[in-house]
Chains A and B, each alone.
Chain A
Amino acid sequence: NKVDKKMNDLPDFLSQILHKVECAEAVFITDIYGIVLAKAEKSQVVMDSLLMYSNAAEQASKCGLGETESMIAFYEDQIFVHISDAPLVITFVGSDSLNVALILEIAEDIKSQLGQLKNGVDKVTDMFE
């Protein structure tokens, strides 16, 4: 079944991406509520920030610069990169040497693989509205 195969391939695809980005520790695909739908991890990562991005992005879009496309949080020894792909969020976590520019470049490649997942999330959302 092509749909199932593509969904099953997603963690492998994310894992390949993760290993191409130096200093990246994990990549998550979540919905806007922070629910993890797919992921790849080199080491276990504590993800407090998964839920906060949706709230932050909504607030930032009120600044007059249009919709929020991404948010990057630089901590003392860690970097979180959140990228919007409504209704999904792509999150990279890495060390303070994480190549953020590379992640933003390859974000479109990742988005191109998320079509089926986005359709699924939209359908579930429609069911409950």
Chain B
Amino acid sequence: RRLKTRMMLKPKVIPEILQQGVSNGVISVVLFNNEGSLLASAGEESGKVVAAIFGHIWNLYESEKELEFLLCMCEGGTIAMTQVTDEVFLCVYGDEKARPGMLKHKAKVLKEYLVEPLSQVFENS
């Protein structure tokens, strides 16, 4: 009997992709699942706390309408969050110099790049 082929994440590749978003005031880029568990990250902070907190905040804002992005502006910086697949979320957060529009755009671009490969991995898992 042939074993079913399963797709796996390459653990080194994803952080390299996320690292491309770390510039111009971006502190960190974090990929996490719908339980708030970290899948990958790039930048200065590990992002575990952000993942756990913003997973919960996304659930608060979810409604019958499809939520596409959340932008949160704090005293010391901004967090942009989007959903990549049904199970995977992306956060881009930057310091006070980072422009909210730029963070949202980076989140959008990374999402568009990651959605197809991550959909294949999580569809087959």
Contacts and interface: CB of A to CB of B under 8 A. Distances in A.
The interface residues of chain B, by DSSP majority, are classed as mixed
Interface of A: 48-49, 52, 55-56, 59-78, 101, 104
Interface of A is mostly: mixed
A74 B68 contact: yes
A74 B73 contact: no
B79 interface: yes
Interface stretch (B1-9, B14-22, B50-58, B109-117): B50-58
Interface of B: 45, 49-50, 53-54, 56-57, 60-61, 63, 65-79, 93, 100-101
B67 A60 contact: no
Contacts, number: 84
Contact of B77 (A52, A65, A77, A101): A65
Contact of A52 (B61, B79, B93): B61
B61 A49 contact: yes
Contacts of B71: 71-72, 74
A73 B74 contact: no
A63 B71 CA distance: 14
Contact of B72 (A68, A76, A77): A68
B67 A63 contact: no
B53 A59 contact: yes
Contact of B65 (A69, A77, A101, A104): A77
A65 B56 CA distance: 17
B67 A74 contact: yes
Contacts of A60: 53-54, 57, 72, 74, 79
Nearest to B67: A75
A48 B73 CA distance: 21
A56 B63 contact: no
B53 A69 contact: no
A68 B53 contact: no
